Amino acid sequence: MKPKILAVSKIHESALRKAQEFADVDVKLDMTEEQLVGIVDKYDAILVRSKPKITKAMIDAGKNLKVIGRAGVGLDNVDKEAAKAKGVEVVNSPEAATVSVAEHAMALMLALLRHIPKAERKLREGNWDRKIMGTELYGKTLGLIGFGRIGKEVSLRARAFGMKIIVSDPIMTSEDAREFNAELVSTEELVKTADIISLHVPVLPTTKDIINEKTLAMMKPTAVIINTARGHAIDEDALYKALKENKIAGAALDVYKTEPPTGSPLLTLDNIVVVPHMGANTNEGQVTAGMVVVEKIRKILVK
């Protein structure tokens, strides 16, 4: 008898077809927690993206549950402790979004420094404003806080723009950084030196509000911040104050402490580019995310 997989999010069709080669797959979208608790006992695996939350109640009800597969990077929506307690494996596909997020970080840098959203908005309003003055990436110092898969890919792309790369990462060595033509520095030196700071850190106690009132005060008044990691990494109140008072030149955010950031004062500012957590949202990234996590599920269910 084939194992059974419950897909509770919209997964790319190619990944579902791959899953159907070794399992019976039911797709159940937009269900409540109570509804999912009522049916999960029939399944060996749950396949999910960033929503819905896979709660303790659901995991406890899954008497046949062996694995939860998250097609994507973060595991914020999975109760990992409940899964561990029940002996349920949790897998994801952090490698899948690497290129998509790295390209997105570069796109946000260009959009921010060339004022592309502002220029487009003015033109749509009938204002042909050719005096909007941008800034080149060429010759600028890019500071990467976090130098994992995505940070490394950003550094490769930034090199093509003629940028100098400095990195801060507690588990990297100077030799590791030099392999990517980058220089390893302290976080303090990075925030003081960089023209552009791009965040690529995981959610850890040590990375919470790594950009805060103190680090913002160290930055050049011409510097900007890019965040495609997690909202966890920035003290948004401190960032708002720094942008409002022009203590730094700008910011571009893909992620926020609360998503969506309804009512956030950051959305009222003119020196910020804001987009709705879309860094991994490419056709290629979603295909890869689904395929990678389905293969990890297969290895667990099919011995």
| Choice among 33, 120, 188, 259 that is catalytic | 259
CA distance 300 to 65: 11
Active-site residue, selected from the candidate residues 114, 149, 157, 277: 277
Amino acid code (one letter) for 110: L
Give catalytic status of residue 277 as yes or no: yes
Q: What is the DSSP string of 128-143?
A: --TT-----STTPEEE
8-state DSSP, 190: H
Active site residue 259: yes
Whether 232 is catalytic is no
- CA distances 245 to 5, 196, 211, Å, are 52, 18, 16
Asked if residue 3 lies in contact with residue 301, where contact means CB atoms within 8 angstroms, the answer is yes
Q: Which residues contact 148 (CB under 8 A, 6 or more apart)?
A: 169, 200, 202
Distance CA 168, CA 25 (A): 43
What's the rounded Cα separation, in Å, for the pair 115 and 102?
20
Question: Which one of the listed residues 230, 232, 236, 298 is annotated catalytic?
Answer: 230
256 conformational bin, left if phi > 0, alpha if psi -120 to 50, beta if neither: beta
> Which residues are designated catalytic?
230, 259, 277
